[in-house]
Every structure is written in C-alpha cells, then in structure tokens.
Chains A and B, each alone.
Chain A
Amino acid sequence: MTQEIKVIHQVLEGDTESFRHIVERYERPIVRMIKNITNNRESCEDIAQEVFFTAYRKLASFDPAMSNFSTWLLTIARNKSINAMRKKRPVSMSELPHKSDAHNPSDELAESEFFDKLDAGLEALPSAQKRAFVLVEFENLSYEEIAQLEGVRIGTIKSRINRAKKKLANALKEIRYEK
C-alpha cells in the first residue's frame, strides 16, 4: 500500500487533518495546470481550492484499481477548468497580438513580446488541444495518463498534441519572419 493510499484511508476513517498532506503535495501542480489551461492568474487558486474541496467530499468514490490518485485529482481539476473556461469568451487566432516592431528574436527587448505571442497562441488553441498540450509539456504527464484523464484513446491525444505544437511552431515562425 503506498503512502498516499494510507493517507486516503486515514482521511476516510475520520482523520481530516491528514488531507493536508494531499493538499500540500498537489497544490502546485494543480494550480499550475489550472492557470495554464484557463490562463486566469486571478482565479486559478480559487478554482484549485474548489478542486481540493470536491476531492475531499468525493474521496470515498476514488478507486485505486481504476486510476492513480494523481490522475483522479487531475481529472477533477480538468473538469473545473473546463467549467471556468466556459464562462470566458474564447479567443480567436485573429485576436492574437499584432506584429511587433522588433523582428529579430535576438533583440532582448522583444523577448516578452514573443512570450506574449506564444501565450496568445496557447490561449487560441481549441480547448482539447490546449489541455493535452499543457498536461504533456508543463505537467510532464505521459500520453497514457492524459488519455485516461480525458477519456479518449492515446492516438487522439498524440494527434491533439501534434496539432497544438504545429500551431505554436507557426506562431514562432511568424515572430521570426513577420515584417
């Protein structure tokens, strides 16, 4: 039995304080994932708080035979992020930042503009592609874990990630060559 499963059993037996171990272990990955999916720095911690609260209330429904605890928790975070994004207006590719005055990536002053453009490119990705990209690139999850979390086949995840990477690569190319 892993340490994590022991903690879960303790919580289910009434030792509420043990849940703090889970919060402290996962707070950073959960907040980071929500921030990168929703692109909302202000509310990502509030959403993360909801994630942990929901996880606590539904802890009895967690089945170690079905998934890892981290995958289960990330699934809750994914669902909460999707709900939060539904309340936001989607950004289209045409709304990406306009071309900058600095065209050479070696120009340090332009660096933040390149990042802004990549941020906007990420924000403009279709929701499913964006989630897959964030989970593999920022959370270092495996394709299998993402497929389980999203409830789709591994091939679908690979395809979503490839498409997302192509779009972001194009955004980078635009930065290099636009005039």
Chain B
Amino acid sequence: MKSEEIYNTWKERKSQIDLRENFADEVMNQIYQYERDKRRPLFDVQRLIELTSAHRFVKAGVVTASVVAGLARIMFVVYNFLAC
C-alpha cells in the first residue's frame, strides 16, 4: 500500500463516527430542563434548598452564616441585659 493510500484510508476512517442514536433527544432534554428552571421563581424555597444541598461550599457557607447570626443575637441579648 502506498503512503497516499494509507493516508487516504486513515482520513476516511477518521471521518467516520458512531453517534449514539438519542443524542439529539439528550440535547433537547437538557434544553427543556433549562427552560423549566428559568421559569421557576428566583426565590423558590424548594429551589433554594436544592441549590444549597447540591454544593458543599454553599452548605458550609449557610451553616457558618447561621452560626454567626446566632452568636450575634446572643451577644445582642446579653449586651441589652447588662445595659439595663
């Protein structure tokens, strides 16, 4: 086999692809899901819970913010009590 033939056969082989049958359906499902998510209200409690539980750092952030808020509230109460 000559170099040119090898090259052309290789090129032909590289041009063939096996695409999964439902590829377009998968793309469209992702797009429909995106559209559904877009229509949901921004401050939907369910969405907020989903977002929070999906990311480790968001979860840690929410816990930290809650602890800080709790401590601040305790300090505020104690300060007011002592001021009386």
Contact = CB atoms under 8 A, between A and B. Distances in A.
B11 A57 contact: no
A39 to B, nearest CB: 10
A137 B24 CA distance: 26
A173 B2 CA distance: 11
B3 interface: yes
A114 B7 CA distance: 9
Interface string B5-16: 011011101110
B15 A32 contact: yes
Interface residues of B, number: 24
Contact of A53 (B14, B15, B19, B30): B30
26 contacts: A16-B35, A17-B28, A19-B31, A23-B23, A23-B27, A27-B23, A27-B27, A28-B19, A31-B19, A45-B20, A49-B23, A49-B26, A53-B27, A53-B30, A56-B34, A57-B34, A114-B6, A118-B10, A119-B10, A138-B15, A168-B7, A172-B3, A172-B7, A173-B3, A175-B6, A176-B3
Interface of A: 16-17, 19-20, 23-24, 27-28, 31-32, 35-36, 45, 48-49, 52-53, 56-57, 105-106, 108, 111, 114-115, 118-119, 137-138, 168-169, 172-173, 175-176
